[in-house]
Chains A and B, each alone.
Chain A
Amino acid sequence: MATTTTATTTKLWGGGKSPFNVEYGKLMMWYFLMSDAFTFGAFLISYGTIRFSTNGWPDPNEVFKSFPFAPEGVNAPLVFVSIMTFILIISSVTMVLAVHAGHNMDKKGVVKNLIWTIIGGLAFLGCQAWEWTHLHHEGAWWGSNPFLNADGTASSTNFTNYFFTITGFHGFHVFSGVIINIVMLIMTLMDKFEQRGHYLMIEKAGLYWHFVDLVWVFVFTCFYLV
């Protein structure tokens, strides 16, 4: 704790002291992310509760076994979703690198890594769009479930309802994260942060982007693996 007691006064913190030694906006981003964590947590726990209260459930390896441009009836469970997972992890890494470059006031590094992050985000959204389209063609949507339970019994629409609601909510977060990153990229290119003397804004965008990756870790596990 010895290193932390020397809080500097900033223009942003109204209390006169910065108790957490972080900028106001960053602290508020943390609080927002915490509330968002509760939203996603509520979704996933509700999904778990419904799953526990049902006798059968579709096998994810049966439902998510297709791959783009592969022939009809291909059996490639987990392959496509693992690509999506790696895209998001890599885009998270490039975002850390962008934040890191921002610390060193390295504008070129920020621009380069932000562009990679945006590309990663768009690639993930593209993958999700393909998967949703494919499932929709198979007859899956809110309120309709063409899949059977793993044991061959009739399945309820809970499965598709939760799948589309939660991945949709996550996809919307990815979408807004990409928009935020594009705004950050434009601001960097306009030298806004050079004029301010710091790239702390990139850090806040970075926190949001990592949170999106974090949520995907949970969604990926709950829907595709277990």
Chain B
Amino acid sequence: MSHTVGHEETHGGGTGEIKKVTIILSVLTIIELVLGFWMIGMESEGLRLAIKGAIIILMLAKAFYIVGYFMHLKHEIKNLIMTIVVPLALFIWFIIAFLSDGNSFRNLRNTYDPYFKEQSTIKVEKKEHGGSHGAAAGAHADTTQHETKEAVETKH
């Protein structure tokens, strides 16, 4: 009966494992936060990128521990693991395809859209605080756009 099914699933569980995984997750999170703090105000673009990569690997490790141990997937039958994990492999392609598409779109715009390119080189003033309404902020956005357009025109 379902009761026996429930008991068969408890293989490999136990409070010891829960404690271990809790500690692992906390340590991984703390490392992520340390890396995050280290990155604040960092100048080197290459090092920043490397740290971001490290943070993403730590994120995947955390996901593995949550799904594998807290959600118990690691102790399930292999067929069930495959049923869940194999479809998620689609994400590998999704991420590669969509991010490179985004990157290509940015390159195309920088090449063929002078306004887009110009806008990303003009520094603007920090907007006033306290404009808690969408309308006010929208007006701000309009003025910045206007300013940028003028700047473009004066350049020409």
Residues of A within 8 A of B (CB): 1, 4, 8, 10-12, 18-23, 27, 30, 34, 37, 41-42, 45-46, 48-56, 61, 77-78, 82, 85-86, 89, 92-93, 95-97, 100, 103, 136-146, 148-149, 151-154, 157, 197-200, 203, 206-207, 210-211, 213-214, 217-218, 221, 224-226
Contacts and interface: CB of A to CB of B under 8 A. Distances in A.
B102 A51 contact: yes
A152 B123 contact: yes
B150 to A, nearest CB: 13
Q: Sort A-B residue pairs by CB-CB distance and give the 3 closest, nearest first.
A: A52-B102, A144-B137, A55-B120
Interface in B1-28: 1-10, 13-15, 18, 22, 25-26
Nearest to A19: B79
B124 A153 contact: yes
Nearest to A25: B2
Most buried by B among A86, A103, A139, A197: A139
Contacts of A142: 134
Interface string B78-106: 11100110011001001100111111011
Contact of B26 (A1, A89, A149, A207): A89
B120 A143 contact: no
B134 to A, nearest CB: 5
Contact of B123 (A137, A153, A198): A153
Given A8-B5, A218-B63, A96 B70 contact: yes
A83 B79 CA distance: 37
9 contacts: A8-B5, A55-B110, A144-B141, A151-B120, A157-B141, A200-B2, A203-B6, A210-B66, A226-B56
Contact of A214 (B1, B67, B140, B148): B67
A141 B7 contact: no
Interface of B: 1-10, 13-15, 18, 22, 25-26, 29, 32-33, 35-37, 40, 52, 55-56, 59, 62-63, 66-67, 70-72, 76-80, 83-84, 87-88, 91, 94-95, 98-103, 105-106, 109-110, 116-117, 119-124, 126-127, 129-134, 136-138, 140-141, 144-145, 148
Contacts of B94: 41-42, 45
B130 A139 contact: yes
Contacts of B71: 206-207, 210-211, 214
Most buried by B among A50, A77, A144: A144
Contacts of A218: 59, 63
Contacts of B66: 92, 210, 213-214, 217
A103 B9 CA distance: 10
Most buried by B among A53, A137, A224: A53
Contacts of B99: 45, 48-49, 52
Nearest to B37: A78
A53 B103 contact: yes
B120 A221 contact: no
